Structure 1
């Protein structure tokens, strides 16, 4: 059962909502516009804030729903919950439908953490909102949110595996944001 749930998590995570919504809303391929990323921030740039908000919600749901299902079918198995959450996140970052070229995983990680470590997810979302409002840079907000989520998870996670997952997701987000980090260090990152 766990193998099937992991596969389901990956396939759910790999649904490219950014591509689908932007094609529906504007008739364009988001990968050829703006930063080329399929995530909510670039969708908002390319297709408007409503489309970006829709993608944010859908990308969070595709992380949350497989984990919720796993919690129902395998209660008391935190390693299973973590495995499915990680699979959904990796599905978003490396979707089979887009030749393994996906998004940065922030919204999907948010969905996973909302289910497993809700205080960490809420702390991350709050920090993201403040940093983006002040600095007007989504990448800086995302990275700051990741730090807040990891720290909060260390103190609030119901199982150590959940806190570990929070750190692992943040490590992957550092990798998916490597170009943004370079631009942040050079002070050339795009504001909005």
Structure 2
């Protein structure tokens, strides 16, 4: 029997490490602490993402968190693609979302990766990412459920990526979709039971 080919290259390893470390920066937590808006982990859902930052009443901080969380996903993809190759960019994007969801600095208790996923998709294929963002925004504005908007956008993203990007990026979108649904299990239960708080509504 011949030796198996090396699947995980040095470039992939570096891209994975870079993506994870960048993705693990908890911008929502840092911003709310710096601007004395309270400990985000003890507010609302305890999540470190933009939706929970909004529950502090600081819309500007929520918008900044959304942009920064999305930006770190996009930067991970773009820089890894510039330094290495497109396959390393895919690895960096996936690890950026994992870093946001499971940051070692917070005992692996992070966010749900919505903004970071959208940033990754935008950087991988801006047409597919833009349509995914538009889907999220449309559902969020009309139904006012952030979690439902994310779930619908996640579910649609592999199809957008396949037709507007390529099959490799569609696989990444499908993996991120699966991870997003796993992270939203509690939200899915609350949506089914009619107990999910709407955007801007404080969680009981």
Query: TM-score scaled by structure 1?
Result: 0.94
C-alpha contact (below 8 Å) 1:22/1:51 kept by paired residues: yes
Match of 2:21, SS state, is: helix
Structure 2 counterparts to residues 97-176 of structure 1, below 5 A: 97-157=105-165, 159-176=166-183
- Counterparts of 1:154 and 1:54, CA distance in 2: 30
Aligned to 2:190: 183
Aligned to 1:13: 23
Q: How much is the aligned-residue C-alpha RMSD, in angstroms?
A: 1.2
- Counterparts of 1:64 and 1:130, CA distance in 2: 22
Runs of 4+ more than 4 Å apart: none
Per-residue deviation, 1:46 = 1.3
1:22-44 deviation digits (Å, cap 9, x = unpaired)? 11223411010011100001011
How many residue pairs were aligned? 189
Structure 2 counterparts to residues 3-152 of structure 1, below 5 A: 3-75=13-85, 78-152=86-160
Structure 1 unaligned segments of length 5 or more: list them: none
Per-residue deviation, 1:147 = 2.1
From the CA coordinates, give the structure whose radius of gyration is larger: 2
Which has the higher mean CA deviation after the structures are superposed, 91-100 or 40-49? 40-49
Query: TM-score scaled by structure 2?
Result: 0.88
Aligned to 2:202: none
C-alpha contact (below 8 Å) 1:124/1:149 kept by paired residues: yes
More helix by share: 1
Per-residue deviation, 1:49 = 1.2
- Counterparts of 1:117 and 1:47, CA distance in 2: 33
Per-residue deviation, 1:79 = 2.4
C-alpha contact (below 8 Å) 1:124/1:144 kept by paired residues: no
Match of 1:190, SS state, is: coil
